[in-house]
Structure 1
């Protein structure tokens, strides 16, 4: 079953498409999206179709910053009912956590995580992997929207310490610099924003405790019928845990606030098992990292939670029936384009 997203994710799509010389209706038809989704922000549409639409639009227009162009004019109100909850929270930290809590209402394939340590806060935003292909445009739209939402609360002069993207740099990064400032880094281990914890401590002068309670009640009532499946809940957590190597069923259960038997039972009811979910997400990520070609195999092994390159190599051969290094060399020779240089950590 396809994950769904609010059609508000396509706000400004038609205007941006026409501005760069492409036909929005023709491109919608290519991915079987009803043109009505451009006018009804609460229509639920397949997130895979939205991702494909943005990638196809970038290719058709020759604009590899198409998603960021869409993000440039977004407003907090585009979040719909989630904006009502976020706007009434007392601090920016509570605003961020509210948007995290209800992210599935906006996009069922979205994962958002906030980590704080030593005065630094990292807001990581990722998509659940599913089918092959790039998600560059959707990722830049997502990070751009979060950036603009934080500016709404922290003021136009605010900028994060870093804006991080896991993909390679664009041909021309000038739009990224104009929107985010010069703290933009590509080829990173995650997609998202880095700021200080003191930024998150900032008060929200618009907060209203009574309205916040009401907004949460309304949103939770409307979201009750769209609960995340057990498989997607486990995948969400594995996306965070895999690079640490701590991805056992016990650790996932702890993150979900249940015991390991409960996780096992929920997955069985959905026709799968924990090890199958782990292998599935590793296969999807491995295929992406190997074909992308920007990371050494030792780093790919680490990102997939393997303690050593040799363990990853054995697993890859078992799963794909070929040697990872050979696959990388074949893909590099046949398809890998020249990559522009960009900022790296």
Structure 2
């Protein structure tokens, strides 16, 4: 089953595509999407098709910051009922906690982790490509751009992050990145994240409206899916979080979700999945991304995928892809030369 995202993620797509000289209707059809999705923001559409659309649009237009251009004028209202709910919370901390809670209503292939440190906060966004391996650069930049826009709407339009970090390499032109994020934008980093001051979390939202919060909460409860419908996304997100620790098991995932392992396995079985197959699929997708798209050492890739030794990763990779990770990377690099 493909992960889904609200069609509102394509807000401003038509305008940016036209400005870049693209035929938005043709681009949508080529990606397997109906042009009607631009008028139906609450419809859920496949994440992999959105990724394909954004990547193709960036490539065909020559605009490496295509998705970031879409993010420049985003509003919390584009998130639908979730945006209404987080818009009227008293503090940024409250808003982020609710965004984490209801993220599956916006994007089934994204995990959001808010890591509070001594005097800083790291807002870490993890994304899966979807059904098939697709480059995630455009979706990552869109997600971080929308997050920065949301924070400014919550605590002040003059707010600036301390740093914005991307796993991928920098584009040739950084003007759009600097315009949206400020000058502290870093590439080829370990994670995709926004770093801000810890004090930002407690900044009061002077426009918070408790009455609107109650209204938005009722609206969300009426559209929220049941637990069984979201179990795949919940388990995927938790696997993403736990894999690098080397402790990703059905027991640990169940503990993280607050249920017993047999409940997780039963719900996955009802959806035609098993925990081991789900974890293996996620490993395959991440492996392809890290080997083909990044400059991480293969030892580091093995650690990020939760393997206790590089040799274990090598055997697994050979079995999954029919060749060694080293050969895959060499072929990928030679193809770009």
Structures share a fold, TM > 0.5?
A: yes
Deviation at 1:293, TM superposition (A): 4.3
2:20 paired with 1:20: yes
Distance in 1 (CA, whole Å) between partners of 2:151 and 2:44 is 25
Partner of 1:34: 34
Deviation at 1:252, TM superposition (A): 0.7
CA contact (8 A) 2:129 2:135 kept: no
Partner of 2:78: 78
Aligned residues: 336
Distance in 2 (CA, whole Å) between partners of 1:231 and 1:45 is 16
CA contact (8 A) 2:231 2:267 kept: yes
Secondary structure in 2 matching 1:102: helix
Partner of 2:193: 192
Partner of 1:298: 299
Distance in 1 (CA, whole Å) between partners of 2:196 and 2:126 is 18
Classify 1:277/1:37 alpha carbon distance in 2 versus 1 (closer, same or farther; 3 Å). Answer: closer
Deviation at 1:227, TM superposition (A): 5.9
Deviation at 1:66, TM superposition (A): 0.1
Classify 1:210/1:109 alpha carbon distance in 2 versus 1 (closer, same or farther; 3 Å). Answer: same
Distance in 2 (CA, whole Å) between partners of 1:215 and 1:231 is 25
Classify 1:226/1:25 alpha carbon distance in 2 versus 1 (closer, same or farther; 3 Å). Answer: farther
2:23 paired with 1:10: no
Partner of 1:116: 116
Alignment of 1:34-183 (within 5 A): 34-130=34-130, 131-183=132-184
CA contact (8 A) 1:129 1:281 kept: no
CA contact (8 A) 1:293 1:332 kept: no
CA contact (8 A) 1:104 1:228 kept: no
- Pick which of 142-151 and 31-40 moved more: 31-40
| Runs of at least 5 residues in structure 1 that lack an aligned partner in the other structure | 338-345
Deviation at 1:202, TM superposition (A): 0.9
Distance in 2 (CA, whole Å) between partners of 1:33 and 1:329 is 34
Distance in 2 (CA, whole Å) between partners of 1:227 and 1:277 is 16
Per-residue CA distance 1:72-98 (angstroms, 9 max, x = gap): 111121111112111221111111111
Per-residue CA distance 1:223-263 (angstroms, 9 max, x = gap): 23696443332111111111122212221111101122222
Per-residue CA distance 1:179-234 (angstroms, 9 max, x = gap): 11121111222222111221011111222334312311211211236964433321
Alignment of 1:246-261 (within 5 A): 246-261=247-262
| Runs of at least 5 residues in structure 2 that lack an aligned partner in the other structure | none
TM-score by length of 1: 0.91
Deviation at 1:176, TM superposition (A): 0.7
Partner of 1:324: 325
Classify 1:290/1:321 alpha carbon distance in 2 versus 1 (closer, same or farther; 3 Å). Answer: same
Distance in 2 (CA, whole Å) between partners of 1:200 and 1:301 is 34
Partner of 1:343: none
CA RMSD of aligned residues (A): 1.8
Alignment of 1:217-228 (within 5 A): 217-224=218-225, 228=229
Deviation at 1:326, TM superposition (A): 2.3
Secondary structure in 2 matching 1:194: strand
